[in-house]
């Protein structure tokens, strides 16, 4: 089996050094320490494939993720490898009944958040008969979010656990009691990986930080941008202020309902919006490979959290830029003193923001209707007479889908959506709000 092909399937020409070293390790009990954005998800998934190739066909895998966004991303990465092994994704806010029905099909790989997984075990979901291999992604974040008790209980449902992988972006100081006697092989790539990041300090001179942020944003070459805050109300305030100055954007924080967060990520990933105003919820688990800028409007309390935020840019050996908005009242935090930070001045006036040129459409059909991306692409190519370059990213969910369309083209076809069908299924098409 040529395992490098799986990396190619996932869009890489070849695995990175970290991925190769970790994959070649034959230890069934391993710890992988690697920076955010280094490609560690693919590393542990391809290692898992090899483990499964050498295991009984009835063996089950449980991959635990601390957040639903990360669980979604891991499941998506697993799908990209094209292994043809059945998978089920379980998380809070998703239909428990639909998940239970998928367990009837005896999936070999389960990707889940701890709370929802424990719920299935406690309620003895039919078809769920334990697991033999365990992976805990973002293990440090899982502990930070207080899931240690859940992990210990979940482990009790394991059947002769044959392999465990703990994945983390920081050094692991604490192991669950249930695995403390296991000899883990640790692969620490944290020191070896130095992201290509340049740091810039933007000082608010004569204006408040919010004005400095908006005026400076208008000077940047358009590109995917994350604006980090420590408080939800600050994200709301910034988002509203940007809109007042003519720059649309999307919000992302834990106080939003799951569908709202989902729509925000869809519009950000497909380029409809190029600014995501967020809390530290977006610091991990989001697979958006080409973030141009990370902006700290409010500084995190620790250097560790600062590093996780910055890990959203300069991914997979690319360059990245980080900007720190500060003022005399809110100076740069002491943990940045060792960094080379270039001073940048915010303009005294706010310039013009460019439009992204894309709009997101909602379609009322999805996977349960046997709809695929190619079906949606074919509909817009044939029925709507779009050119290929006028159709952007398409995302298909269980009961609905999203597609990005060039805004100029949308103006010409928006009156043609009434009474349309895809694969003989009536579809409602509307703007994604």
Place of tokens 């910055």: 310
State residue 379's pLDDT score.
97
CA angle 112, 278, 236 (to 5 degrees): 125
What's the predicted TM-score (pTM) here? 0.75
The span from the CA of 112 to the CA of 93, in Å, is: 12
Take residue 10 and report the two structure tokens written for it: 């996932």
Taking only the tens of pLDDT, the chain with its 433 residues reads: 567 788 888 888 888 888 988 988 888 999 999 887 788 999 999 999 999 988 989 999 999 999 988 999 999 999 999 888 999 999 998 899 999 999 988 999 999 999 999 999 999 999 898 999 999 999 988 888 888 889 999 999 999 899 999 999 888 777 777 788 888 999 998 876 677 899 999 999 876 899 999 999 999 999 999 999 999 999 999 999 999 999 999 999 989 998 899 999 999 999 999 999 999 988 876 777 789 999 999 999 988 889 889 988 876 667 889 999 999 889 999 999 999 999 998 888 888 999 999 999 999 999 999 999 999 999 999 999 999 999 999 999 989 999 999 999 999 999 999 999 999 999 999 999 8
State residue 374's pLDDT score.
94
State residue 317's pLDDT score.
62
Q: Which residues contact 281 (CB under 8 A, 6 or more apart)?
A: 67, 69, 252, 253, 254
Name the burial class of residue 327, with classes exposed (0-12), middle (13-18) and buried (19+) by CB atoms within 10 angstroms of its CB.
middle
State residue 316's pLDDT score.
62
294 sits in which H/E element: strand 293-296
Query: Helix (H, G, I), strand (E, B), or coil: what is residue 310?
Result: helix
The span from the CA of 343 to the CA of 205, in Å, is: 12
CA angle 8, 11, 17 (to 5 degrees): 65
Angle of helix 96-103 versus helix 114-122 axis, rounded to 10:
70
The span from the CA of 429 to the CA of 371, in Å, is: 14
Q: Which residues contact 13 (CB under 8 A, 6 or more apart)?
A: none
Radius of gyration in angstroms for the set of CA atoms belonging to the chain, rounded to a whole number = 23
Q: Give the dihedral of Cα atoms 408, 410, 412, 415; nearest 10 deg.
A: -160
The span from the CA of 403 to the CA of 424, in Å, is: 19
Name the burial class of residue 324, with classes exposed (0-12), middle (13-18) and buried (19+) by CB atoms within 10 angstroms of its CB.
buried
State residue 228's pLDDT score.
97
The span from the CA of 315 to the CA of 322, in Å, is: 13
The span from the CA of 276 to the CA of 282, in Å, is: 9
Give all strands (DSSP E) within 15-132, no chain letters: 29-33, 61-64, 87-90, 109-112
DSSP one-letter code for 55: S
Nearest to 62 by CA among 155, 145, 153: 155
The span from the CA of 175 to the CA of 183, in Å, is: 11
The span from the CA of 3 to the CA of 15, in Å, is: 10
The span from the CA of 198 to the CA of 340, in Å, is: 8
The span from the CA of 389 to the CA of 102, in Å, is: 36
Take residue 136 and report the two structure tokens written for it: 């805990």
- Within its chain, how far is the Cα of 62 from the centroid? 19
Domains along the chain?
4-188 (3.40.50.300), 196-345 (3.40.50.300), 358-431 (3.30.70.330)
């Amino acid at each position: 089996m040529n395992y490098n092909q799986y990396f190619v399937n996932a869009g890489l020409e070849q695995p990175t050094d970290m991925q190769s070293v970790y994959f070649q390790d034959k230890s069934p009990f391993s710890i992988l320490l690697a920076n955010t954005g280094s490609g560690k998800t693919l590393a542990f998934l391809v290692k898992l494939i090899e483990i499964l190739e050498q295991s009984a066909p009835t063996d089950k895998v449980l991959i635990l993720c601390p957040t639903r966004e990360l669980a979604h991303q891991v499941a998506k990465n697993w799908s990209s490898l094209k292994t043809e092994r059945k998978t089920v994704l379980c998380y809070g806010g998703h239909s428990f009944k639909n998940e239970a029905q998928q367990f009837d099909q005896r999936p070999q790989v389960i990707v889940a958040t701890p709370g929802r997984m424990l719920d299935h075990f406690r309620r003895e979901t039919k078809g769920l008969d334990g697991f033999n291999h365990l992976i805990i992604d973002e293990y440090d974040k899982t502990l930070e979010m207080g899931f240690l008790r859940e992990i210990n209980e979940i482990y009790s449902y394991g059947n002769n656990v044959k392999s465990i992988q703990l994945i983390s972006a920081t050094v692991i100081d604490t192991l669950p009691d249930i695995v403390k006697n296991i000899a883990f092989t640790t692969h620490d790539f944290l020191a070896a990986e130095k992201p290509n990041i340049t740091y810039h300090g933007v000082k608010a001179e004569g204006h408040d930080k919010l004005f400095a942020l908006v005026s400076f944003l208008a000077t940047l070459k358009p590109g995917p941008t994350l604006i980090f805050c420590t408080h939800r109300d600050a994200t709301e305030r910034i988002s509203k202020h940007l809109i007042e100055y003519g720059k649309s954007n999307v919000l992302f924080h834990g106080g939003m309902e799951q569908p709202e967060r989902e729509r925000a990520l869809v519009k950000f990933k497909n380029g409809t919006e190029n600014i995501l105003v967020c809390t530290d919820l977006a610091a991990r688990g989001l697979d958006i490979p080409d973030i141009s800028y990370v902006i700290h409007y409010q500084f995190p309390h620790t250097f560790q959290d600062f590093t996780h935020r910055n890990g959203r840019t300069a991914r997979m050996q690319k360059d990245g830029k980080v900007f720190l908005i500060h003022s005399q009242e809110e100076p740069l935090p002491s943990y940045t003193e060792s960094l080379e930070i270039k001073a940048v001045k915010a303009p005294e006036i706010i310039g013009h923001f460019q439009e992204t040129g894309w709009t997101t459409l909602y379609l009322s059909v999805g996977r349960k209707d046997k709809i695929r991306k190619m079906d949606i692409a074919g509909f817009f190519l044939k029925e709507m007479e779009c050119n290929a370059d006028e159709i952007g990213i398409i995302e298909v969910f269980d009961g609905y889908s999203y597609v990005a369309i060039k805004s100029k083209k949308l103006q010409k076809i928006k009156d043609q959506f009434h009474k349309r069908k895809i694969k003989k299924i009536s579809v409602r098409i509307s703007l994604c709000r």
